[in-house]
Structure 1
């Protein structure tokens, strides 16, 4: 994995703009050198993220990991970044810069879909997170009927920016109310019904 990508013109300005927008409560991400801004999360998204955090808290505390909701993931080969709704990483995860870490340093990234972000969460982010080396991607989708929680793991190692293959080799889907097992290093069952309560 390329650890020191060549900077692009204006990269510092782009990152500063993202930081200012994120500080103002928006979700600003960089994809293919463009800044993509999403509105503040809805109450439903916030509640689902909180409930997910509650289910993960014991294993996070036991392992002395950290839960982030405002730290980005570097997406290679460009200086792109995504800002997941929730990320769990070791305290010593390798940083790309002050705003984000290398994806293979994360343990789990979670996205909670909304009507406005659903296509990006499903169509773009799995490929980007897999390219970054994120080992576990959780997509919580309250928009679909029935609501689902999808776990993607074992990212392909040789993905191109425009790759059409499934970015993760293993995918597990649970409808609301079903149990979804998170593999090592978590080794816990998620109660998906609680997420959508």
Structure 2
């Protein structure tokens, strides 16, 4: 399945430096009630994850630890994404070699990142953010895999074969309950049966 990247031609709302100042101020003043991102020249707001959302992230962490104890799944780590435009994303999970982010700041480069995870939220912006913009941004940044757990249709999609500047060339989608393979070099078989417990 080919995933075509949609490029927009709008003007950036601000510089990445201005965004970082706003995000830092907001984090102090709102007690992390929301999370800010800067994708394709636009500022976006992610709601604070709910209990099911966080449990799904922990589900992936357990599966990865059992199969690949040499890897870490970070939560809340900011990434410098986008070659086309400067951007900042804060995925729900970032899979990397153990201790990969030691010594990095709030917004780390994507080199060495193996997979990013997003779990959809029940907000009006999740379609644009998680299903359309993120596959383009993560693929364009060269991240090998993007795993999307979509709570709206109870599915899990792995995007692979990143094309720099374009997005991902391949997407495999399975319903909750199926086994989904994260291809080599990860080589992880995800049993998604547990996700049925968190279907709304």
Q: Normalising by structure 1, what TM-score?
A: 0.79
Alignment partner, residue 21 of structure 2 = 16
Partner SS, residue 91 of structure 2: coil
Alignment partner, residue 79 of structure 1 = 86
Shift of 1:173: 1.1
Distance 1:148 1:47, change over 3 A: same
Alignment partner, residue 156 of structure 1 = 163
Matches within 5 A, 1:79-158: 79-90=86-97, 91-92=99-100, 98-116=105-123, 117-144=126-153, 147-158=154-165
Partner SS, residue 58 of structure 2: helix
Q: How many residue pairs align between the two structures?
A: 178
Distance 1:54 1:27, change over 3 A: same
Q: CA–CA distance in 2 between the matches of 1:185 and 1:157? A: 19
Extract unaligned runs of 5+ from structure 2: 1-13
Q: CA–CA distance in 2 between the matches of 1:183 and 1:120? A: 25
Q: CA–CA distance in 2 between the matches of 1:92 and 1:38? A: 25
- After superposition, the C-alpha distances for 1:58-97 in whole angstroms (9 at most, x for unaligned) are 3442x2x3221111221223331111011111234698x6
What stretches of structure 1 move > 4 A for 4+ residues in a row?
Answer: none
Alignment partner, residue 177 of structure 1 = 177
Q: Is the 8 A contact 2:155 2:174 kept in 1?
A: yes
Distance 1:104 1:82, change over 3 A: same
Q: Normalising by structure 2, what TM-score?
A: 0.78
Q: Is the 8 A contact 1:27 1:37 kept in 2?
A: yes
Q: CA–CA distance in 2 between the matches of 1:69 and 1:174? A: 24
Q: Which has the higher contact order (CA 8 A, sep 6+)?
A: 2
Alignment partner, residue 39 of structure 2 = 31
